[in-house]
């Protein structure tokens, strides 16, 4: 759970981590009622980027944020956009 404050409203995001499952194995049951999806990849692994790119091509209104799980770079901005 991640609480994000926008103006005077607090929005709670429920985030699920699929623990590196291949994107093609994630079925609609995981995201049927979702308002948004974060598809992440490892910049140091080209196969990781290739796998997520194909999956993202099937989504509408996709945004791209370059973030770092290691440093936290752009994570707050991403969460605000998602909220």
Give residue-wise pLDDT tens across range 20-79.
666 556 666 767 777 887 878 888 888 887 877 766 676 767 788 888 888 999 999 998
pLDDT of residue 20: 62
Q: Tell me which of 21 and 8 has the higher pLDDT.
A: 8
Domain that residue 47 falls in: 2-82
Please tell me the distance from the alpha carbon of residue 55 to that of residue 81, in angstroms, as a whole number: 20
pLDDT of residue 49: 79
* 3-state DSSP of 36-52: CCCCCCCCCCHHHHHHH
pTM: 0.68
pLDDT of residue 8: 92
pLDDT of residue 10: 94
In the chain, the number of structural domains is 1
């Amino acid at each position: 759970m991640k609480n994000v404050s926008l103006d005077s409203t607090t929005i709670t995001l429920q985030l699920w981590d699929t623990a590196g499952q291949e994107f093609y194995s994630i079925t609609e049951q995981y995201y049927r009622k979702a308002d948004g999806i974060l598809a992440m990849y490892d910049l140091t692994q080209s196969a990781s980027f290739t796998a997520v790119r194909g999956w993202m091509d099937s989504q509408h209104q996709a945004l791209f944020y370059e973030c770092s799980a290691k440093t936290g770079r752009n994570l707050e901005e991403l969460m605000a956009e998602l909220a």
